[in-house]
Structure 1
Amino acid sequence: MSDGFRLDEARALLLRTPRVLEAWLGGLPDAWLHVTEGASTWSPFDVLGHLIHGEETDWIPRARIILGDAADKTFPPFDRTAMFEASRGKSADVLLERFATLRAESVRTLDGWTLGDADLARRGVHPAFGEVTLRQLLATWTAHDLGHLAQVARAMAKRYREEVGPWRAYLSLMDWKD
């Protein structure tokens, strides 16, 4: 199933996520941006804010900890819901632009490290999982993007869950649960 983690392939996907979200969400009416899959689920707008928060406080900051010289390689906890406050009052277009800028900076930083296999095997300490490698962190970053793109698609599709009528039988996305 897997050919293993390849940094060049992960990088290619990480660079595309902002463009995918811009194509999907840029200029859309609020009804599309704020639709959810139900109680306690995130809208496309929320996902966008969460991805921004990850760029600011998670992926590259944690990679820096792993690659740094400090003896303590423990990551600070990540606030998965910080986006609710941080995104308040902002437009989706502003968030899309911010995400694109941050992601470009993150990939430039990643490129500047010229990482090899020994670097990818270096370890940090996740507050819940314990020891993790840089390879695992970067693979998770990539899969995390894909998971949230799927989440955005599900939420948006479910906006028309009832309206599709009998075709719902052929639209597995309408009844998808995490």
Structure 2
Amino acid sequence: MLFELQKSIEILERTPAVLKTLLSNLSPDWTHNNEGGETWSPYAVVGHLIHGEKTDWIVRTQLILSQEEDKTFQPFDRFAQLNEGAKKNLPELLDEFQALREINLTALKAMNISAANLEATGIHPALGKVTLAQLLSCWTVHDLGHIAQITRVMAKQYKDEVGPWIEYLSVLHK
């Protein structure tokens, strides 16, 4: 499937509701545990998504579409949410994510992005030249990847408890 902005918006609009439905009113065992080591809990993933809403997707889209000569993106701190500490509870984070996403999608739609705009480029600090279509595709896949990550982390809380069925549960093998 070729990139289509409206198809990406279909996913991007739903992510906050998916996360609210999945994570609201759960015990901390579901939302604050991770896969061990330096992996992320669902709580940390929501914090990461918020940081992206503030500093990544729309900021970079605006830069690509701007008249600036230097279209080099600022580096994105993938771990910023871990350094900020647990200042908010999960319901507050979910509400903040939803509000930021609504603002960003309103801004995105107001840009009236054309097919020509999708070919405009920016410079990623590690990846080099990227198109707007690639950035917006990445935003969509990023959401889907983190939804999958959250459900995988949650599933692994019962990894030992499923007993012999582990053989049939591929989510527990990743």
Could you say which TM-score interval applies, normalised by the shorter chain? over 0.9
Normalised to the residue count of structure 1, the TM-score between the two structures is 0.96
SS in 1 for 2:137: helix
Return the offset for 1:89: 2.4
Aligned to 1:85: 83
Structure 1: 4+ residue segments shifted above 3 A: none
Tell me which of 118, 134, 148 is aligned to 1:136. Answer: 134
Give the match for residue 12 of structure 1.
10
Contact kept in structure 2, 1:49 and 1:86, CA below 8 Å: no
- In the TM superposition, residue 72 of structure 1 has moved relative to its aligned partner by 0.3
Decide which of 73, 76, 86 is 2:74's aligned counterpart: 76
Gaps of at least 5 residues in structure 2 are none
Q: CA RMSD in A?
A: 0.8
- Of 86-95 and 56-65, more deviation after overlay is shown by 86-95
Q: Kindly tell me the number of residue pairs found equivalent between the two proteins.
A: 174
Letter in 2 for 1:102: L
State how 1:1-178 maps to structure 2 within 5 Å: 3-176=1-174
Secondary structure, in 3 states, of the residue corresponding to 2:88?
Answer: coil
Structure 1's unaligned 5+ residue stretches are none
Cα distance between partner residues in 2 of 1:50 and 1:172: 26
Query: Any conservation in 2 of the 1:49–1:87 contact (CA below 8 Å)?
Result: no
Cα distance between partner residues in 1 of 2:85 and 2:110: 30
